[in-house]
Structure 1
């Protein structure tokens, strides 16, 4: 009996990522992957019981692990000196660094968008990372509402709204053939814009009352 190893598992995931990107989720098969790896299907299935499980591993490795880790940091420790704004800024910058500069992640996103309408790829993608991350972000925002740091509302919807603001300037990159790298300074600026709009809205600052009305 062959011993399963982490190195072999990672090699399978890497080869699967290339196969999915080249052939798409629907056309790719475990049989084709085993041929490319030069091993048997039995060995492949000893690591991953289905194409769906393998694709989930690819998504996590190349597209959502950063999101999961960033979300876990939101509630990993209780730093009394760190504000809600600080936490949202750290989360946003870490997320955007991958979204705008990781070509492997971008390839996965494009594949999901392209095939979501005629397969379960969208659900697999959502369940592999975004769902848990949105739940953790929701929990953070719910706590802020309890402390009256945010207006009361549905924390899940608020989490979705924040993510929409955060990715508003990056969504177009999915549809571009080639995208230029984004500097860390620009990532900070995009995150700051999203956080400010989420926390303070788009209305202009209140103007001071005229002197004769004071």
Structure 2
């Protein structure tokens, strides 16, 4: 029986992240990854049944885990007394901190943009993080509509609109050759601006 360890899994994901960045999703192979790790393909497949699942693990580790963590906090039982604006501020800051300070996360985003037109990478990325954020934001907004905090509308569209406001000022970073990190103060300011604009348009 083959024994799997968390340390080995993390090493595979780390090496795969580097490989995907260097070669892109389509050209990267399990053969090449096995060579770099000094093991066999059988070992890799023992951890990840396919390249798609391995890439999903890379995405979640380096680019979307912060979204999952931030989204989970939206409906946290201990946060029931927190205002909608405060919840959105916390979510937005958690989202932007990674996108404005983590070079590996930014590299993954760039890779997804570059490959999405000719592979399934774009949807793999979406399913590994953004979809969950949209769904949880939509549930939060639906509840806020029921409680008279937000005007009635499609909760999922509202979620997409809020995410667009949050990322409006940083999307250019994906296309810049070098993108210097932003301070926590600047992240708070950008998030606060997005929350205010969202509430001005969707709030009662």
TM-score bracket relative to the smaller structure:
over 0.9
Report deviation, 1:79.
3.3
Report what 2:21 is aligned to. Answer: 21
Q: How many residues align?
A: 202
Cα separation, 2, equivalents of 1:78 and 1:8: 35
Cα separation, 2, equivalents of 1:188 and 1:123: 29
Describe how 1:102-141 pairs up with structure 2 within 5 A.
102-141=102-141
Deviations, residues 82-127 of structure 1 (Å, cap 9, x unaligned): 1000100000011100011110100000000001000000010000
Report what 1:81 is aligned to. Answer: 81
Deviations, residues 21-71 of structure 1 (Å, cap 9, x unaligned): 000000000111001110011111000000000000000000000000000
Cα separation, 2, equivalents of 1:95 and 1:189: 13
| TM superposition score normalised by structure 2 | 0.97
Cα separation, 1, equivalents of 2:80 and 2:133: 22
**Alignment CA distance shift 1:193-1:50 (3 Å):** same
Report deviation, 1:81.
3.1
Which stretches in structure 2 are left out of the alignment for 5+ residues?
A: none
Report what 1:163 is aligned to. Answer: 163
Report what 1:193 is aligned to. Answer: 193
Q: Secondary structure at the match of 2:179?
A: coil
Cα separation, 1, equivalents of 2:184 and 2:201: 24
Q: Secondary structure at the match of 2:26?
A: helix
Cα separation, 1, equivalents of 2:63 and 2:126: 11
Aligned Cα root-mean-square deviation (Å): 1.1
Which stretches in structure 1 are left out of the alignment for 5+ residues?
A: 203-214
Q: Secondary structure at the match of 2:79?
A: coil
Report deviation, 1:76.
1.7
Report what 1:93 is aligned to. Answer: 93
Alignment of 1:67 with 2:71, yes or no, is no
Report deviation, 1:132.
1.0
Q: Secondary structure at the match of 1:138?
A: helix
Report what 1:46 is aligned to. Answer: 46
Report what 1:142 is aligned to. Answer: 142
Report deviation, 1:73.
0.3
Report deviation, 1:2.
3.3
Cα separation, 1, equivalents of 2:120 and 2:38: 28
Deviations, residues 162-199 of structure 1 (Å, cap 9, x unaligned): 00000000000000010111001100000000000000
Report deviation, 1:201.
3.5
